[in-house]
Chain A
């Protein structure tokens, strides 16, 4: 992302916010999101295909069903790689593969039902051959066990074990009944009986009983327990031996299945990738719907037209404060566009909005506008006064110049350059000179540069588009309007942009705002004398 947008640009157009809000469900989807690259100039057709896919998911009634399947898809990359490295998978891993295959089958069925040619590009590969190995009895259950059906040998071992278990149970039961009736005692579930030492005769009697042994004793009682006969001991030993054989056979079976998983590992990996793409597309479709975003029209010529554009992060912040966000219309059809007009007129917000819309479109997302027509860039840049370089010890002017250098350097590639108040913090004479020279330089480039400025002569050029914030809604020296809080200004502000021809009129909104905010009238009056 770095050569497309610097980290500071990502932050300043609030693209980091957008990126965080897009939430794929599976780990494959997260991976696809992390690996996302912007579509740049020359990839217009690819981007249109991408948008087609998003639109197909938005329109598909099956989106819910797909999401339900995605929710159950686990990350089995580790398991696939283990199989690929000829490791023998354990039961839990085989269970995971089985469930993955079931999910693939279900997803594939749904995707085939969506009649959109671009969705067909997301081709999953179900593996019924491999699935069959994991479901030998064709039970279509999503559980896994080393089933008896895997081999005749396994079946026989298990049957024999069951037989032995049964025989042992019967033998024990027979002995228990015999002992109970012979000595007139009751043995508990653990085949034990507690006898008080005071019953000397009973103790002597039980001590002589071949089927019993002492299993515990204290100063009052003796506990007797049924002793295994040689026959039972032998059966138990046989049971143990069979268990070893069974373990070996199970291992052999797992080895066979794992080898097949290995054989199909590349197809499995490819499937995880496609699931990631589907997941990330759906995440973007969901986000587009949630934010009332639209598919932008992608054009080749250098131009941005936005109707009703919003910066989603600012919109959210304002919503929390119960303030309405005013969407902005603009048509950037010249290489350099100056935005002039009132302080607090939303000029910086407009820059951030343009940047966000362009970045979202480049990253294959629908855009928060009513309509947008936009070209692709190779670089997006924004410089705002609150840049973090200031924290690094540079003055605000110093930081600005460093940023400007980056923009100039990249202006040989098709760039979107957004500059807030270029040289606004230096002396007006030099500030104007620098701004004018930068504008002259950039207007020859294959870039769209949008800058906000207070220097009224910068836009005095037929090659430059001048957009002005409409500004405060009341007119003249209306001083009835006073407010205690500067926040009130937004009530009177008309944020819309209008195209103006150079007039030389100086907007007086700064003084009006100062008045609304309640600056001493004496100062306001005095200031007016200087205009």
Chain B
């Protein structure tokens, strides 16, 4: 089944595309999905997490391809980018959400063209905008999620995500496979029990939970650097530890110092909160670290871009086959050269 069909069949209404790095092929993936949607007469909507709106990436000086939008599609983008677009659009709504590039405007495409997309910055605004695009008739809304703005494409807003990865991550294909597998592993971490979720939702702070459901909230401003304090509060009665915010390598190391940690479950909001080094993470997982999430992210597919803007590229076929091996059960699509196989 084609990727777009999988999305429609599963009734996923809001899907985010997360690139594991700049130039990992996120925009290519989006263009691919839009094109597929157009061919199969599926009304798609698009918005993105706020971005700079430049034609080229300031960081890498490479061309940042705009999204090609076609008649009947819906989009939500900042006014400045809309005015620069050569697509002709019907204005549906001025959202009142302001960004550095102007107010976010909701439009319906009346004539095809290229459009830079710069959507809302906060999760709350994103939820509103995606909801409105659906209201106007989009069957599925794609969120172009920037790497540093993962929170906006968090599972609280989206139904599923597609991870874009590519040769740009490393010249060594093995490294690319490893990093991608790590991301997919983190995003797909299982959800914790309902009663733990309830406790965490109520507390909404880093806390230590005992078997009897008693809660202790350590006196720390953010979880960063608070690992030792948290670790001190973990004893043989602890059953779960909830870490609000980022789970870093140093936090993991601090926690690992506590001998009781092996028996308990570490809870984080969702897989995007893990910022630990792969080596540290893998070692601890091998030793028995258990991590669960409040919100599971549904990884729908991984898309590949075998070409790096630095000039090197992987063999498309080999790259895809290897990726399939490290990600059993996950759809892998090469958007640069092949797309879905017929």
A-to-B contact residues, CB < 8 Å? 74, 90-92, 95-96, 99, 143-146, 158, 161, 186, 188-190, 192, 194, 216, 218-221, 223, 243, 246
B278 within 8 A of partner (CB): no
Q: Mark B3-26, 1 if CB is under 8 A from A, else 0.
A: 000000000000000000000000
* A–B Cβ pairs within 8 angstroms, 15 of them: A74-B94, A90-B83, A91-B91, A92-B83, A92-B105, A95-B91, A99-B94, A158-B111, A188-B338, A189-B36, A218-B313, A220-B315, A221-B315, A221-B316, A246-B88
**List of A residues within 8 angstroms of B111 by Cβ:** 158, 161
Which partner residue on chain B sits nearest A192 by CB separation? B337
Contact, CB under 8 Å: B91 / A220: no
Contact, CB under 8 Å: B337 / A74: no
**List of A residues within 8 angstroms of B313 by Cβ:** 218
**List of B residues within 8 angstroms of A243 by Cβ:** 86
How many residues of chain B get a CB closer than 8 Å to chain A's CBs? 28
B234 CB to closest chain A CB, in angstroms? 38
CA distance A143 to B137 in the complex (A): 14
Which of the residues B82, B90, B96 comes within 8 Å of A145, measured between beta carbons?
A: B90
Contact, CB under 8 Å: A143 / B96: no
Contact, CB under 8 Å: A218 / B315: yes
Which partner residue on chain A sits nearest B79 by CB separation? A92
Contact, CB under 8 Å: B96 / A216: no
Contact, CB under 8 Å: B91 / A188: no
**List of A residues within 8 angstroms of B92 by Cβ:** 143
B268 CB to closest chain A CB, in angstroms? 36
CA distance A146 to B87 in the complex (A): 13
B339 within 8 A of partner (CB): yes
Contact, CB under 8 Å: B94 / A92: yes
Which of the residues A186, A189, A190, A194 comes within 8 Å of B316, measured between beta carbons?
A: A194
**List of B residues within 8 angstroms of A186 by Cβ:** 342
A116 CB to closest chain B CB, in angstroms? 32
Which partner residue on chain B sits nearest A161 by CB separation? B111
| Residue with the highest number of chain A CB atoms closer than 10 Å, among B39, B337, B339 | B337
A11 CB to closest chain B CB, in angstroms? 33
B296 within 8 A of partner (CB): no
Which of the residues A90, A95, A223 comes within 8 Å of B337, measured between beta carbons?
A: A223
CA distance A194 to B316 in the complex (A): 10
Which of the residues B35, B91, B94 comes within 8 Å of A189, measured between beta carbons?
A: B35
B153 within 8 A of partner (CB): no
Contact, CB under 8 Å: A143 / B108: yes
Q: Which 3 A-B pairs have the closest CB atoms?
A: A145-B90, A95-B91, A144-B91
Which of the residues A143, A194, A246 comes within 8 Å of B338, measured between beta carbons?
A: A194
B132 within 8 A of partner (CB): no
Known A95-B91, A223-B337; judge A74-B82 contact (CB<8 A): no
Contact, CB under 8 Å: A145 / B339: no
A91 CB to closest chain B CB, in angstroms? 6
